[in-house]
Structures are given as structure tokens and as C-alpha cells.
Structure 1
Amino acid sequence: MQNTDNVKKKTDIELIIDAFKESNYKGFFIKDIFTLNLDGEIIAFRNSLSSRFSFYAKRLLDNPYRRRTLLKKEGFSISEGEFFKPNNKEEALNFAREHNMQVQLEYRRREKTITSIEEFEQAWKALSKRYKRHQTRKGYQKKGILITRNYQEEVKSRYLIIEGKCVGVIQYTVAETGEIETINITPYVHPNFIEIAEKVTRIVVGMDILAVDIVAKDHLRDPYENGYAIFGLEVKPSINEFHYPTYGESLNIAKMIVDNMIDWVSRKKQLNNLLAPVKDAKPMPELVLNRSLEKISTRTKTHNSNKKGLLNWLKGPFIK
């Protein structure tokens, strides 16, 4: 069933704010960051990215080389791709031609999907400038611009994970008009796809909300038999498209995020209450401490105080 409701679509952060209001919580903005006091715990959101998301996990996933390396080492199938330096433009173009110019270029969170040589030239120029402006820390090397195959004959779906559990899946399709349409396929996805997506979120600790983009010929069939590839990981995924799919039932992801956050704060409080009775070890009694110091001060010397130290000995014959 097509979603034809004539309602104004809210942004990700508007949906999250409304969900907090429904649970009787209000917050405020510091520039573009929504902040609120959740039962004594300060929580912040930048769209769907929460302050609970690990800083190091985000840095790792934002880096294409580290992300792909980690996924491969953990045994996941990833999309075909290679890294190219700006001075290897011809090699990069040949790679794109091998895949009929159906590729995606990426460098430092900037992604450009191209379908022609003209688009490739524009994307390469823009990302090359970004590459040259990027200053790395000492000891780090820039791997280059990542070019990955865009799987035109296969279907891309996004698996949204909250606290390690898949809560929704949308499939992307291209309409006759060329526009991207979305379908809620959550009830129909093969369970092994769900298992793969949830397993991805466990490769790094500290990811509360994550989207796993997977390409496959059919998301309703077993991926281990028919193949799949992880196309991307999004640390700040749009929840808007889950609330307003072109086809299928709407998913109230904002409420799920808020409920999970409230539950997390509650669990943290319970843990703190359990640890509260545990007292710090008492300091050593003064008498015992003084006796120990007395023993140290009266300890028999075992060295010859007349001997020179190593540094003084060296200074004698060599340093004048």
C-alpha cells in the first residue's frame, strides 16, 4: 500500500523531540545540538546521532579504510572497491569503466554516486581538492579516494539497529521518474540478513544507533546461499525515511530511540544504586604508617656512600 498521507514530513530531530515530549521530557538547543536532562543524565542529539555513540567508534567507521579492513577481518562480505590517489586518475577511471561508470566515490564522509564520465570528472575534481586540503596527524597516511562498485542489478536495503537489535528495514527502488522510493520490508526480510546486520554492530563497542546498508539480489532469500555485500555503515542515519516510506507501514523509530534512551538511563541508575553501598578502602592508620616510615629511616645502609654516582663518574674523565 502506498503512503499517500498529505502530511508535512518532519525532520529527524523534530521527530525525536516530539517523542521526548510524549514521554514528558523537554530540552533545548545549543546551536544544532538538542540537549536535555533525562532524570539527571545529560543527553544530546545531532539528528539521530546521540551522545552515547562512542567517539572512537565513530572515528573508526568514518574512515573507509579502517571500516572496510575491520569488516573483512570479521568475515563480512563487503562491496568491491579500491583506493586511488589523486595522481592515479587514469587508473581510477579505468576501474569505473570496468563497472560501466556505475560507481560511488568517497573521501572523508563525502560520497558522490556517478553514472557517466562527466560526473566522474566533477566528483574526482571535488574529492581531490578535499584530499589535498586534508592534513593528517604525524605517522598517518592518506589511503586515497575510495571507489566502490554501485550494484545496479542488485537491491540496496538499509537495516536500522538500536542497541544491537534490528528495528526496521527499508528497501530502495528507483521509480520510472528517476526518483528514489522506499519500501518497508521489515516483516519479510530473511532472518539471516537480520543476523548479519546485528552482528555488524558488535564489532565495535559503543554504537547505540547504526544503519547497515546491504546489497543483495533478494533480501527475502538466504544471503549465505545467494550472496550479499555490506555497502556502507551510517552513524547518523535518517529516521525520516522509516517514518515516511513510499510503500508499507510507517515505523515510529523516534519513539524506539527515546524508549531505549530512557531504559538505558534507568539501567544506569540501578547499577549506580547497587554500587553505592561499596565504600572506599580506609586509609592506613596513622600509627602503622608512622611505624613503617620509622623502619625505612633506620634501615641499615648497604652501599658505600663515598662511591660516586654513575653520572659523576662519567663527568670525571669525559666531561670538563
Structure 2
Amino acid sequence: MVRINKAYDLNHWLLVLFFLAQLCIFVSSSDPSEIQTLLKFKSFLSNDTALDNWNNSTNPCNGTTNIWAGLYCDKNGNVYGLKLQNMGLMGIIDIDTLSGLSALRSISIMNNNFEGPLPSANKIGALIGVYLSNNQFTGEIPEIAFEGMNQLKNIYLDGNEFSGEIPSSLAALPKLTVLDLQGNQFSGEIPNFPQDPNGWKHFNVSNNQLEGPIPASLSNLDASAFVGNKGLCGKPLTPCKSSMKTTKLKNSLDQFEHYAMTTLYLSEKQLLHIIMKTPNQDPRSTIQFRLLSACVGFGPTSVLFFLLLDIKTSVLIFNPQFCAND
């Protein structure tokens, strides 16, 4: 019979448990490079007393538990998100430094005092959420600001002073389900967002300076998402007027008053071909238009108009004429 040394057996297992505990601590502790990255990021901030425990004496994370203020940590002890909200922070959001955090998926700096242009968040292509609400960011957002951010789901830019057109790169984000742009100074038309098969969880562009028709893909949203934009029209707001801005149209075909029209025909591709010649009998020339719209009213007096696009010059031609029906 083999005699078991109980004291040896207990010491053996205690030693195993000790090494396992050390291994867990090693795995879940923060990468030293992340510590230096976060401290460098902090160096660009001011009024940062809320981040006083960001220092070299402790690790930012212990497993999923954050030791430093304003962090989310993943199971490996890496920084997964920044939650620096309501801290009175000012200064520069150094995206170049933050791009060194390989596990970073979310940046939230809501309700602070940051100024200047939109941070170049697309330098961190794996981000899922960008939360910049209620700061003092200004200026136009470049068209390419969100290019390549194919994992991005949530964007909050509300309560700032952004201006110019809404960047079309937003409409190309395949996973975007939350977009809040309210309370800025955006102008122009809303980009043509594709129909989201999963539906919008939240969409709001209210209280800006937007104009033009609301894209059909957004027409099922509540009207509150669009109010406060005097120039917006279409479902779910009031219908758009049929007339278009005269600044974008020529009001007649007066530029052709010295020409005689000899032939007019419409091809299968909705191209209107007008064969013209001058009074001096110059050789005939063909002017080609794309027929965008044609409408004929009915009644004693009807309105006949054509909305044409000059293929060569891309000039829109609007030709209203009153005519009497036979």
C-alpha cells in the first residue's frame, strides 16, 4: 500500500494555486504600453482633476474592473472604452495617441468643454461608438470623416456647433443604427441613407438648417426627428412644393430664341433631341436633354412644363407655358 503524505499533497496544491493566481494577475493586468499611451493622452487635456488617479503607481485595469477613472476594461485587462463624461475636461482629443490602444472600441467625452474641429475618429477604424454630445466643437465635417469605420453603430454629435453639409460617409456605414445630430448648424440636404433592414434605434437631425426633401428611407421616422429645420419637407413633415428653387433653374428657354426648331423627338432612354438651326441658315445642330419631368394639366387653361437636363452642360431648364386645351 502506498502511503500518501497529506502534508506534501496540501503544500503541492497550495503551490499550484499560487502560480495560477500569479498567472491570472499577469494575464489581466494592463499592458505597460497602454499605461504610457493613456498618460500621454492625458497630457493634452486640461482641467483634468477628475483623472488624478491616472498615474504610474497603478494599472488602469484589473481584469474587467477599471482602476483608473473613466475606463471600460475587457476580460484581458485592456482598455475597451473611454467614458470621460461630465468631467469639465478641456484641451485636445489626441486621436493619434489613442490609436495605440488596440482594444479601444468606444470613445465618450459627452458634456465637457472641448472645442475645435471634429477629432479624426476614423484613425481608429474599429470603433463601435463615438459620443461627443454637448461640447463646443465647430466647423464643417469632411466628407471622408467616417470612411472605413464599418463597425460603427452609434454616433452622437448633438449639442455642438458643427456646420456645413452632413457628410455622405455617414450614409455608407453598414452597421449604423444610432445617429444624433440635433442642435447643430448643419445645412443642405440630408444624405440618402439606405433603408436599414434592422431599423433605426435612434435618429435625430432636428434643430439645424437643413432643407430639401427627406429621403424616402427615413420617411417612416417620427416627425420629431426633423423639426426645427425650416427648409425640410416631405413625409413625415409637410409635402414638398412642386416648384423648385429658381436659383437652380433657368426659368425659360430664352437662350434659344434666335434658333428655329426643326425637329423634336424623345428617344427610348428619355433623351429629348432638339434639332436647331440659326436664322442665317447655319448647319443644323442637335441639342440633347434628359427629360427629368413632364406634366400636363387638364382644364380650360392648363400648365405644360418640361424639366430638362442639358447633357452637355448639366444645366437644368425649366420651361413653363400656359396653353388652352382644344
TM class by shorter chain equals: under 0.3
Look at both structures and tell me which one has the larger radius of gyration over its CA atoms: 2
Whichever structure has more strand as a proportion of its residues is: 2
> Could you tell me the TM-score, scaled by structure 2's length?
0.21
Whichever structure has more helix as a proportion of its residues is: 1
